[in-house]
Structure 1
Amino acid sequence: MLSPIDFIQDLMNPDLRFLPKALVIAVMSSIVCGVVGCYVVLRGMAFIGDAVAHAVFPGLAVAFVIQGNLVLGGAVAGVLTAILVAVFSQNRRIKEDSIIGVFFVAAFALGIVIISRAPGYAGSLQQFLFGSITGIPDEDIFTVAITGLVLLIVAFLFHKEFVSVTLDREMARSTGIPVFALDLVLYVMVAVAIVISIQTIGNILVLALLITPAAAARLLTDRLAMMMLLGPIIGGGSALVGLYLSWSLDLPVGGTIVLIATLVFLLAWFLAPRHGLLIRYLRRRARPIEGEDDEDHSDRGALAPATPVLESALR
């Protein structure tokens, strides 16, 4: 296994120019996904994130076939599919999750058909599904950097509105907040965050980069501001450590990054200072028998929705 010093030397090796590019894109996309993922986790939108990951695939496939920009192609496909879902969901006879299932799986199938018409079909499909660190062009670094910066600015500008909709959609609508428009903006942000991450981590595993760091951060803090700081730190750190281990041990990059992020989540699940399983167990052991009712109440509070967190963000 390579030492960290050896890894740094490889990063500086001009014959391995793809390696620092992969590191920069992996860390930048992980940071962006960490921020956007906080809204996804708090709103319980994991299924939508998974669906968007499927929806961007035909855009990526078209861009690949015509030698266009992958980020732009995936973003266009994700936005169009999100709009279709939003429009068709207005028919209350069919629930939104059913509409999502229909359109996003259909989009993924369309992507497979399109990519199958390209030369080198098998290798191209594997690159899209599982990621690749060897084929990242130089211009993609600037594309990911600019796109990620725009997403972070949008998240900052609409932060309070996103939190209001998450806290109570009907209350937000009654106060004049454009809930439908904000949903579309968030769908687009999720789609773009996924697109800029796919080249490194792949289409199949990209949802983990969006959900796992934010979920780990949610276990570590009750404050939304701290959660949105910890999420990107966990995501970026997982990308750095994952790329180092994958390069040292000759492992798949995407899978290694996801496993590192999952390990952080599991550590938070067991060892988080307030909501960790071990801390709650020790607290129950230390509490006298007659306080059993209080114990139950405390547990319920630990597992309650994020309402106090969201309310504090609105102040």
Structure 2
Amino acid sequence: MVRALTSTVIASAVCAVLSCWLVLIGWSLMGDAVSHAVLPGVVLAYVLGAPFALGAVVFGFLAVALIGVVRDTSRVKEDAAIGIVFTTLFALGLVLISVTPSQTDLNHIIFGNLLGVDTSDLIQIGVLGAITLTLLVLKRRDFTLYAFDPTHAHAIGLNPRVLGAALLGLLALTAVVALQVVGVILVVAMLIIPGATAYLLTDRFGRMLVIAPSFSVLAAVTGLYLSYHLDTASGGMIVLVQGAGFTLVYLFGPRHGIVGKRLAKRRREVARAG
């Protein structure tokens, strides 16, 4: 339980910080694509005895390259290209799992196995999480400028393509960090919900980088304890708590919540009438 709690906190914090940029850039679908497309890379890395992160990064970039090729060389639009590529690669991963002889159950890559985290898994999660978080913090200004205005970033000497590729590489690493916690299927939720929730609570990006991981860690710990006491799937419960938290903010957020905006509008109408 201690290892599960530690890995949950690390994965949720790293996913939440990256989610801030994904939400701003509008890469929700891309996050979904990369998180699913890393599955065959992780399986092949297991077969070859290579680090999971290596296979994930290779297939993450492969997915992005294939999406670009399909989009630029055909009439197919980007959203359709993303759907075609990530589902095909995800299916390839499922086939590889089904034909790979293994002494361990590789299905935990798909669905997660939080309570099965051992010391080596925890070390991998910690190292990859530290690398990803450090790079995001060190390059946060460049990534933020790229998210808001890539044209201006290019004008001051930054390379938007390199910054985009770096974010995608970090996205692949983050997917590996969260695989053990919630599995491939639910990784995208941890990569989108915290940033989207923080986006509804503040208009300042610096505050988003604080609110998102705080919300994500709180939801993850709450979900883990609920899954323990209710005897439910830990990964699913973590994401469910995050979804419930987003719903509350969406409805009752002080500035952008649906109910809050209606109440504020009614107060303004009353004040004008008075």
TM-score, reference length from structure 2: 0.90
CA gap 1:142/1:74 in 2 versus in 1, 3 angstroms = same
1:176 to 1:68, Cα distance in 2 relative to 1, 3 A = closer
1: distance between equivalents of 2:30 and 2:200?
21
Say if 1:156 and 1:181 are closer, same or farther in 2 by CA, change over 3 A: same
Change (3 A) 1:214 1:55: same
Change (3 A) 1:242 1:207: same
User: Is 2:250 the counterpart of 1:269?
Assistant: yes
Write the letter of the residue equivalent to 1:51.
A
Alpha-carbon distance, 1:128 to partner: 2.1
Q: Distance in 2 between matches of 1:90 and 1:38?
A: 28
Whether the aligned pair in 2 keeps the contact of 1:29 and 1:196 (CA below 8 Å) is yes
Equivalent pairs: percent with the same residue? 36
Distance in 1 between residues matched to 2:258 and 2:147, nearest whole Å: 27
Question: C-alpha distance in 1, partners of 2:70/2:17?
Answer: 28
Q: What is the number of equivalent residue pairs in this alignment?
A: 273
Contact 1:115 1:121 in 2 (8 A): no
2:135 matched residue in structure 1 = 154
Q: Aligned residue for 2:112?
A: 131
Pick the structure with greater CA Rg. Answer: 1
Do the aligned residues in 1 keep the contact of 2:114 with 2:235 (CA within 8 Å)?
Answer: no
Match of 1:81 among 39, 57, 63: 63
Query: Which whole-Å CA distance do the structure 1 matches of 2:73 and 2:141 have between them?
Result: 29
Tell me how far apart the structure 2 counterparts of residues 137 and 69 of structure 1 sit (CA, whole Å).
16
Aligned Cα RMSD in Å?
2.4
Does residue 244 (structure 1) correspond to residue 214 (structure 2)? The answer is no
Q: Aligned-pair distance for 1:191?
A: 1.3
For 2:149, the equivalent position in structure 1 comes to 168
Corresponding residue for 1:177?
Answer: 158
Q: Give the Cα separation in 2 of the matches to 1:244 and 1:68.
A: 33
Query: Residue 146 of structure 2 aligns to which amino acid in structure 1?
Result: V
Unaligned runs of 5+ in 2: none
Describe the superposition over 1:63-118 as per-residue Cα deviations: whole angstroms up to 9, x where unpaired. 33445533343233223333444566554865443433333222112111211112
What does the per-residue CA deviation read over 1:118-159, in whole Å, with 9 as the maximum and x for residues that have no partner?
24799533x222111243231222222121111122112222
Who is 2:240 aligned against?
A: 259
The answer to whether 1:99 aligns with 2:81 is yes
One-letter amino acid of the structure 2 residue matched with residue 223 of structure 1: R
**For 2:116, what is the secondary structure of its paired residue?**
coil
Structure 1 range deviating more: 50-59 or 264-273: 264-273
Equivalent residue letter for 1:124: L
> 2:197 — aligned with what?
216
Instruction: For 1:165 and 1:92, locate their aligned partners in 2 and report how far apart those are by CA, in whole Å.
Output: 27
Q: CA offsets per residue over residues 151-201 of structure 1, 9 Å max, x none?
A: 122112222222222222333334332111111111111111111101110
Partner of 1:4: none
User: Using a 3 Å threshold, how does the CA distance of structure 1 residues 87 and 271 change in structure 2: closer, same or farther?
Assistant: same
Higher helix share: 2
Q: 1:229 aligns with which of 207, 210, 224?
A: 210
What corresponds to 2:51 in structure 1?
69
- Report whether the alignment pairs 1:286 with 2:273: no
Aligned residue type for 2:4: A
Q: Label 1:290 to 1:237 Cα distance change in 2 as closer, same or farther (>3 A).
A: closer
Unaligned runs of 5+ in 1: 1-18, 293-315
